[in-house]
Amino acid sequence: MSDALERFEKGLREVSEASAGAFTGRSTEQALRDENAKLVGPNGQLTQLMKLMRELPADRRKDLGQQANALKAEIQAAFEGALDRLARAAREAELTGPALDPTLPGRGVRRGRLHPLTRTIHQLVDVFVALGFDVEDAPEVDYASNCFGKLGFPPDHPATDMQDSFFVERPGGELDTVLRTHTTTVQIHQMLKRPPPMAVICPGAVYRRDDDATHSPMFAQIDGFAVDEGLTFAHLKGVLTAFVRRLFGDEVPVRFRPSYFPFVEPGGELDMGCVFCRPWEADAERTRACRVCKGTGWMEILGCGMIHPVVFEAVGIDPTRYTGFAFGMGIDRISMLRHGVSNIRLLYENDARFLARL
Amino acid sequence: MKASHRWLTELSGVDASAADVAAALTRLGLEVEDVEPRGEGLDHVVIAEVRAAAPVQGKDKLTLVTVFDGEGERQVICGAPNVPAPGGRVVLARPGAVLPGGLAIAEREVGGVRSSGMLCSETELGIGPGGAGILVLTNGEPGRPGQLARDALELTDHVFEISLTPNRPDCLGHVGLAREVALAFGVAFRAPSPGVPARLLAGVDRLDAPGDLPLLEDDAPHLDTLTLVEMRAGVPALVPIRIESPERCPRYAGGVVQGVTIGPSPFWLRHRLFSLGVRPIDNVVDVTNLVLLELGHPIHAFDLAKLRGPEIVVRQAREGETMATLDGEERRFTADDLLICDGGGPVAVAGVMGGRDSEIGQDTRDVLIEVAYFDARSIRRTSRRLGLHTESSHRFERGVDPNGVPRAMRRAVSLMCLLARGAASPIARDVCPAPIAPRAIAFDPAHPGRLLGMPIAERQTRAALEAIGCAISPSEDHLWRVHAPTWRPDLGRPEDLVEEVARIGGYDAIPTALPRVLPSGRGVDARLRLARRLREAAADLGLLEAVNFAFVSRDDLTRARIPGAPLALANPLSEERAVLRTSLLPGLLAAVARSRRHQAASAALFELARVYHPVDGEPLPREPWHLAIALAGRRVDHVAEDARFDLYDGKGVLASIVEATLGAPLEAHGDEALDAEAPYLHPRRRARLSIDGVSVGVVGELHPDVGDAADLDARLVYGELWLERLFEAAAARGVPQARALPRFPSVSRDVALVVAESVQVGAVADALATAGERLVEAVELFDVYRGAGIEEGHKSLAFRVVYRDPGATLTDARVDTAHGRVVRAAMEAVGARPRA
């Protein structure tokens, strides 16, 4: 009995002594925890000592128990104090230690972009949709007859030979399929598919055998047309004038002049005032020096006309009942003008430095 | 087409500025692209008369010339060998003149003698090709001493560059253009008289045969002024012509001019040709070129002595027949080519180029002039086949005026008599087996107003049509019969006439109106709509959009291990672009390789485009649309981080795109079939993508061997989605349906399971989710651990399993029981053990 008492009291003294400097000079949290565990951990000195409590004389048990608890609290406080000091020191060190180098580059957030051609197409499409046009697709590999003959190209027209158009091989078959040379083929496809009235545009890639700074063998076009009873050239002018104004602004002048395409008659081209030197602002000097319009003040942007009766005859629409108008334009050039791109090849090289900037 | 403003003014009688004429032509549909002033800056350049010429001592190449420049005499040193004798006229640049080449003329010492000006050559004045020496005016040419050279020689002009549409061959000559100028300014147009030959061969019998073309009328007023010249012995005045292919050559005329003297043309003609881009050669050849530029009708001159027979046969070539053309090339023909032959064989490629052996030379004395009309398609085919595009073929393949033959013949003959001092046969042969009459078009005079959308008076329509040369005769009904002039082959249908009325009135005069468009209810094609949303989603995720050519090389596809045979182009521009792509991979691979070469830390690209899959037995391929992505290099662009894109980036990006566009979850799983379907992917780092079991694409890291073959120094992550399949999956999925929000809380339990490396996370998660416990709401992986405590070849997967009873609050006891069952069942299903 007294043996236990003796051991307990001795133990308390030893723990008290051991705890006195236990937490000083320890510089890591782990060291503090190790020291703490030696004293009050599951196998710690004080914890072991407490197991003797039941063997202590009853009259001393309360007193010694209080002493042991006080010691435990003391140790706890010392441990926490030491932890706290350590944390403070670490915080102090962080706040006064070496700073991050703010001149290191920021962490990049990847920025995606639609291709400039795509964005131009979206803009044009949106304008025509607002004007009431459907947007349709047409195949890129098509019968030569859809691309030429039905559109009124005479046989032996330069566009129909191997020099100008890509023909697609067909094992064992004739050479009668081509990569479409214009999106105008949409007229044939749509008019064969549904009865008038209709108003349709078709954006897409087209192909011609040209390759230089201003011609790419693949490029993008939008064609559009409308067929109904009583459509007139005045309607053609109205729609295309509205198109130009919505795309480039109400102040931009437009002019129509006669031109020729096999699938329209009368045929024309639409010029719009040069949006770079803006001649309507009457700065003649700026216009004279303008390299985009070469000083003319006008930019050609599309071909147009009243649908030729041969086209209606080719698709079985009665040309004495229906009339229609059609137009087509290159998208690459519009995109190049907008972004100041001088070589069309840049549009198809997919250089990330180019794509990311535009 | 180059056109001279001065010449157009002469022909049309319209005295308007070059700028006004250019604008008017453009308004009429003859687009003037450029107006180039000529003869500017020749301020101190005058005509001078030579008074004396003396050699300069010690300088045997120099001459001291005394000239009279209208004000006085001055002395100039000249280095040219052709200083004329006193009385000859030359062009003098006085001190102060600045010549077109920038040369400033000043008084200076030459060879120790003072020279007060310079005698000029055509080259120095920028008015001709030059040749040996200074410009010397011959007798009969205008210019008196002191007169400004630009006035005396009519050097000031504006040259238009006109972009002619192919339907207007009538404007490939100045007379046709002048007709349009007159039209634009409301002036009546009269084609100029072709002239009559000033010298005629005596004793040519007039046969009055149907093939005879008289070159002067009997009652011509100047018959008395004609000079009659004896026929040259042994030289015919008429050459027989036989047309064996009348459908390809409906008309052929040949006229003889005897006794010409070959020499340089007068200055005005040389200058006219030169300023329109044609090199002056000699008086006979220059006349043929002048007629071409004036009337737009190509003609040809043969040296009559070199023609065997002499006779002319127009026939199709024999297969393999050859002839040397004027340019010295030996040409080989097919049976589809039309040749002009003499008694011995071919002497010209009809409508394209003459033969070398019958061309005009210095010793030519007698000339046969050919004026013909050839079928446009035939000429076009021959010109293309020979790769020979000439001023002549350019016009014939667009269509010249068959009934313009007599005029062109008269013009050529009279000019040759005048300029080469020849004597013409008064009759030319003109063989016309298939006469071409003006086309008659039945025309409703109300048509223009109806099609243009404006009221147009009948008399306005009539005036417009007559102004372009149409003849209108009344017909029985209300229609007009409009006879279009044969120089306008483009006028064949009523709509063509409507365009004439419209362009003469001016397109500006047509009002603008918006049509009433009935809503079709179709709107934007579904595929185009989906494509746009996919593109926007991809760009939002940080990818740059690429647009590649649809054609690639066979090697591109082979190197990228794309299965299947592509469609080939019959006439590719190069082997590099010989076939249509069957996959978007080659294009993106090249784009990524390109950005790696530019040392970009990373590349993140997408492309949405069609590929072309041949279909057995079908003439046209399928054109499915694919969205492809390519990621390579650093995942995060920062020096301090080095993580590289891998499979999971590809999967994540595509899943986000699908989520954003279709609102559907994208699943990825292994599939051995990809060995054959996508052999370009890494066999251990790839997956099939599906939505609700519908396969919609693939994703993976590129097979390292494919990367090597493309010289790619980085791991590339490639994935594609197929739009057709996306539609299919979206349609099957339908519209998402709402569910009541849970009313009772969920409880979660974590479990760590150790499985062999070969066991996929998806399998374990599926096992947990489908262990038969209806309380399981979700299973989420939150840790994958390998290392201490886990044996080699195994991994520990930690999942959080979420439990919920939609009808009650869960108790710990129920959850524990359920969780125990779930874990046991899952362990059994996938062969897992709990982590210790």
Residue B311 has pLDDT above 80, yes or no: yes
Q: Are residues A272 and A319 in the same domain?
A: yes
Cβ within 8 Å, pair B550-A242: no
Q: Are residues A23 and A160 in the same domain?
A: no
pLDDT tens for residues B324-352? 999 999 999 999 999 999 999 999 999 99
User: For B524, which residue in chain A has the nearest alpha carbon?
Assistant: A135
User: Taking a contact as any Cβ pair under 8 Å apart, which residues of chain B between 356 and 375 contact chain A?
Assistant: none
Give CA–CA dist B528/B521, Å, rounded: 16
- Minimum-distance CB partner of B638 among A107, A257, A323: A107
Give CA–CA dist B181/A336, Å, rounded: 35
Least confident of B205-214, B303-312, B726-735: B205-214
User: For B32, which residue in chain A has the nearest alpha carbon?
Assistant: A296
Q: Are residues A212 and A349 in the same domain?
A: yes
| Chain B partners within 8 Å of A203 (Cβ) | 528
B109/chain A closest Cα distance in angstroms = 41
Contact (Cβ atoms closer than 8 angstroms) between residue A18 and residue A49: no
Tokens found for residue B700: 């993976």
pLDDT tens for residues B91-140? 999 999 988 888 889 998 877 788 889 999 998 888 888 767 899 998 88
Q: Are residues A165 and A273 in the same domain?
A: yes
Partners of B603 in beta bridges: B632
Contact (Cβ atoms closer than 8 angstroms) between residue B200 and residue B424: yes
Specify the pairing of strand B353-354 against strand B346-349.
Answer: antiparallel
Which of B646, B694, B686 shows the shortest CA–CA distance to B666? B694
pLDDT of residue B598: 84
Q: Are residues A239 and A277 in the same domain?
A: yes
A220/chain B closest Cα distance in angstroms = 11
What is the rounded average pLDDT of the residues B637-661? 91
Residue B207 has pLDDT above 90, yes or no: no
Q: Are residues A63 and A123 in the same domain?
A: no
Q: Which residue has the tokens 């939008």?
A: A222
Give CA–CA dist B832/B834, Å, rounded: 7
Q: Is residue A47 one of the residues assigned to a domain?
A: yes
Contact (Cβ atoms closer than 8 angstroms) between residue B98 and residue B47: no
Q: Is residue A108 one of the residues assigned to a domain?
A: no
Cβ within 8 Å, pair A257-B605: no
pTM of the shown model: 0.86
Cα(first)–Cα(last) distance of chain B, in Å? 91
pLDDT tens for residues B394-418? 999 999 999 999 999 999 999 999 9
pLDDT of residue B413: 96
Cβ within 8 Å, pair B518-A211: no
Tell me the CA distances in angstroms from B509 to A268, B122, B447, B449, B655, one per residue in order. 14, 47, 17, 12, 57
| Chain B partners within 8 Å of A356 (Cβ) | 544
Q: Are residues A186 and A294 in the same domain?
A: yes
Least confident of A153-157, B285-289, B627-631, B756-760: A153-157
Sign of the Cα pseudo-torsion (B130, B135, B139, B140, in order): positive
Give CA–CA dist B39/B150, Å, rounded: 6
Q: Mean pLDDT per segment of 10 residues, for chain A of length 358 residues?
A: 80 86 86 89 87 84 88 90 90 88 82 94 94 95 95 83 86 86 97 95 95 88 96 97 92 94 96 90 88 87 96 96 96 86 87 85
Residue B221 has pLDDT above 60, yes or no: no
Instruction: Using the 3D structure, point to which of A65, A96, A127 is the last residue of a domain.
Output: A96
| Chain B partners within 8 Å of A129 (Cβ) | 523-524
B163 near A CB under 8 A: no
Q: Are residues A197 and A161 in the same domain?
A: yes
Substitution target in A111, A115, A325 with the highest count of B β-carbons within 10 Å is A115
Contact (Cβ atoms closer than 8 angstroms) between residue B634 and residue B644: yes
- Minimum-distance CB partner of B510 among A109, A234, A308: A234
User: Taking a contact as any Cβ pair under 8 Å apart, which residues of chain B between 14 and 43 contact chain A?
Assistant: 26-29, 31, 34
Confidence bin at B222 (pLDDT 50/70/90): low
Q: Are residues A122 and A246 in the same domain?
A: yes
pLDDT of residue B835: 84
- Minimum-distance CB partner of B547 among A109, A259, A347: A347
Substitution target in B500, B520, B579 with the highest count of A β-carbons within 10 Å is B520
B524/chain A closest Cα distance in angstroms = 5
Cβ within 8 Å, pair B511-A237: yes
The domain that contains A344 carries what CATH number? 3.30.930.10
Substitution target in A125, A201, A232 with the highest count of B β-carbons within 10 Å is A232
| Chain A partners within 8 Å of B532 (Cβ) | 122
Residue B220 has pLDDT above 60, yes or no: no
Owning domain of residue A169: 116-355
Cβ within 8 Å, pair B380-A205: no
B451 near A CB under 8 A: yes
Mean pLDDT, chain B, integer: 92
Residue B793 has pLDDT above 80, yes or no: yes
| Chain A partners within 8 Å of B573 (Cβ) | 209, 211, 217
The three-point CA angle A325-A330-A334 to 5° equals 120
Q: Is residue A64 one of the residues assigned to a domain?
A: yes
CB pairs under 8 A between A and B: 260
User: For A298, which residue in chain B has the nearest alpha carbon?
Assistant: B33
Residue B158 has pLDDT above 90, yes or no: yes
Give CA–CA dist A261/B446, Å, rounded: 24
B619/chain A closest Cα distance in angstroms = 7
- Minimum-distance CB partner of B513 among A117, A238, A257: A238
User: Taking a contact as any Cβ pair under 8 Å apart, which residues of chain A between 88 and 127 contact chain B?
Assistant: 104-115, 117-118, 122, 125
B518 near A CB under 8 A: yes
Confidence bin at B682 (pLDDT 50/70/90): very high
- Minimum-distance CB partner of B527 among A137, A169, A175: A137
Residue B215 has pLDDT above 80, yes or no: yes
Tokens found for residue B733: 């999925």
Residue B224 has pLDDT above 70, yes or no: no
Cβ within 8 Å, pair B569-A169: yes
Q: Are residues A182 and A270 in the same domain?
A: yes
- Minimum-distance CB partner of B544 among A112, A156, A255: A112
Tokens found for residue B373: 């009309």
Substitution target in A237, A325, A353 with the highest count of B β-carbons within 10 Å is A237
Q: Is residue A101 one of the residues assigned to a domain?
A: no
Residue B614 has pLDDT above 70, yes or no: yes
- Minimum-distance CB partner of B571 among A167, A238, A348: A167
Q: Is residue A110 one of the residues assigned to a domain?
A: no
Confidence bin at B736 (pLDDT 50/70/90): confident
User: Taking a contact as any Cβ pair under 8 Å apart, which residues of chain B between 624 and 683 contact chain A?
Assistant: 636-641
Q: Are residues A184 and A294 in the same domain?
A: yes
> How many structural domains does chain A have?
2
Collapsing DSSP states into helix, strand and coil, what is residue B544?
strand
Q: Is residue A147 one of the residues assigned to a domain?
A: yes
Buried b (16+ CB within 10 A) or exposed e, B681-706: bbeebbbbbbbeebbbbbbbbbbeeb
User: For B529, which residue in chain A has the nearest alpha carbon?
Assistant: A135
Tokens found for residue B108: 């200076």
pLDDT tens for residues A283-329? 888 888 888 888 888 999 999 999 999 999 999 999 999 999 999 99
Confidence bin at B516 (pLDDT 50/70/90): confident
Q: Is residue A102 one of the residues assigned to a domain?
A: no
Residue B209 has pLDDT above 90, yes or no: no
A297/chain B closest Cα distance in angstroms = 12
User: For A295, which residue in chain B has the nearest alpha carbon?
Assistant: B34
Sign of the Cα pseudo-torsion (B358, B169, A310, A157, in order): positive
- Minimum-distance CB partner of B453 among A134, A179, A232: A232
B294/chain A closest Cα distance in angstroms = 23
Collapsing DSSP states into helix, strand and coil, what is residue B656?
helix
Global ipTM: 0.88
Cβ within 8 Å, pair B502-A266: yes
| Chain B partners within 8 Å of A245 (Cβ) | none
User: Taking a contact as any Cβ pair under 8 Å apart, which residues of chain A between 276 and 335 contact chain B?
Assistant: 294, 306, 308-309, 323
Contact (Cβ atoms closer than 8 angstroms) between residue B439 and residue B405: no
- Minimum-distance CB partner of A258 among B507, B551, B620: B507
Q: Is residue A186 one of the residues assigned to a domain?
A: yes
Cβ within 8 Å, pair A265-B495: yes
Substitution target in A129, A133, A147, A169 with the highest count of B β-carbons within 10 Å is A169
Residue B252 has pLDDT above 80, yes or no: yes
Q: Are residues A80 and A123 in the same domain?
A: no
DSSP code, position B472: E
